[in-house]
Amino acid sequence: MADQVKVSDLVKNARLKVLQGKEYLDRPVTTSDISRPGLELTGYFKYYPAARVQLLGITETSFAKNMTHDELLMVMRKMCAPETPTFVVSTDLPVPDELKQAAKETNIPILGTNLTSSRVLSNMTFYLSGQLAQRQSVHGVLVDINGVGVLITGDSGVGKSETALELVRRGHRLVADDRVEVYAQDEQTLVGSAPVILEHLMEIRGIGIIDVMNLYGVGAVMQEDDVELIVHLETWSPDAQFDRLGDKGDTQQILDVVVPKVSIPVKTGRNLAIIIESAAMNFRAQSMGYDATEVFDANLNRLIKQNSRKD
């Protein structure tokens, strides 16, 4: 988890432009929450969230027009707290002179955008939530298989990287090898990426480190991807019990997000890449409402009924 991002990062990633204070873009943003200072314009500061990005839209600027210069300047000076990272004015609205003065006095930059308040609020929240979210390192390989983010896990030496390399060779895309940094984008979405030092790289026993992007092209890698399915590779044992019908519905919880999970036995002669590819496509089919297990059960019940009538 990043403790903070800079205002300059927010400018680059949320379609913003600097209206004032270019020299102060290194101010930190420490929370993904965005403030719409409505009550503050009336002079109510008891619960003012000063550490948030302050967003002014049509409602706020229209209200400010009805205030006297002294009233508005007093309010803006209170809003320009030491911990306030920046002000953002939406919809290409004119910036009140009182805000310009107060922000200049306290070295707070003012940003602008032609986007509406709701759109820019969504952009900023999405970016900041991803950057400031709690992160967890997971041992495994993350591969995008036809649009399905598959996290391949298993004991060291079971063949995760080799299987992922075969998937890349079959046209799928590598996100991260060996260590996957994951964070919860929301209550239902887990996102994974590679640590900066491992981006686009894989370790293959007997060969060493290879650069997947250099060998297979930019279309063979992704920066990040949703973790939608976990495939756990487990060394085959005659005593181990594995799902044969696909009706167990196993899951694994990471950062409070529940992710579907399947376990695949690793045995000499099995083409793991094709099996994992099929698991991903089966998961997508189930997500679209088609379940092969239910079809099998329906066929079996129909056959049983037919035989019972004959009897």
Assigned CATH topology for domain 5-132: 3.40.1390
CB 144 within 8 A of CB 222: yes
124-163 pLDDT, tens digit per residue, is: 999 998 889 888 999 999 999 999 999 999 988 888 999 9
Q: What is the pLDDT of residue 266?
A: 87
- So where are the chain's domains? 5-132, 135-295
Using CB atoms within 10 Å of the CB of residue 6, give its burial: 0 to 12 exposed, 13 to 18 middle, 19+ buried.
middle
156 labelled binding-site residue: yes
118 labelled binding-site residue: no
Q: What's the start-to-end Cα distance of the chain, in Å?
A: 66
Per this entry, what is the length of the chain?
311
Angle, helix 69-79 to helix 97-106, in steps of 10 degrees: 40
Helix residue spans in the chain (DSSP H): 7-13, 58-65, 69-79, 97-106, 117-132, 160-169, 212-216, 272-287, 292-310
Comparing CA positions, the residue from 292, 2, 279 lying closest to residue 149 is 279
161 labelled binding-site residue: yes
Structure tokens at 65: 């027009």
Residues annotated as catalytic (active site), given as ranges? 139, 160, 178, 244
Domain 135-295 = CATH 3.40.1280.10: no
Q: Rounded to an integer, what distance in angstroms lies between the CA atom of residue 109 and that of residue 86?
A: 5
203 labelled binding-site residue: yes
Comparing CA positions, the residue from 106, 95, 81, 93 lying closest to residue 30 is 81
Asked whether the domain spanning 135-295 has the same topology as the one spanning 5-132, the reply is no
Q: What is the pLDDT of residue 311?
A: 58
Q: Is the pTM of this model over 0.75?
A: no
Q: What is the pLDDT of residue 244?
A: 57
pLDDT (tens, 9 = 90+) of the chain, 311 residues, equals 455 799 999 999 998 999 999 999 999 999 999 999 999 999 999 999 999 999 999 999 999 999 999 999 999 999 999 999 999 999 999 999 999 999 999 999 999 999 999 999 999 999 998 889 888 999 999 999 999 999 999 988 888 999 999 999 999 999 999 999 999 988 889 999 999 899 999 998 889 999 999 999 999 999 999 999 999 998 877 666 656 555 567 899 999 899 999 988 888 778 899 999 999 999 998 888 866 666 666 676 777 777 776 65
Q: What is the pLDDT of residue 246?
A: 56
204-248 pLDDT, tens digit per residue, is: 888 999 999 999 999 999 999 999 999 999 887 766 665 655 556
Q: What is the pLDDT of residue 61?
A: 95
Q: Rounded to an integer, what distance in angstroms lies between the CA atom of residue 260 and that of residue 190?
A: 12
Q: Rounded to an integer, what distance in angstroms lies between the CA atom of residue 106 and that of residue 138?
A: 42
9 labelled binding-site residue: no
35 labelled binding-site residue: no
Q: Rounded to an integer, what distance in angstroms lies between the CA atom of residue 301 and that of residue 297?
A: 6
Q: What is the pLDDT of residue 287?
A: 84
Q: What is the pLDDT of residue 236?
A: 75
Q: What is the pLDDT of residue 155?
A: 87
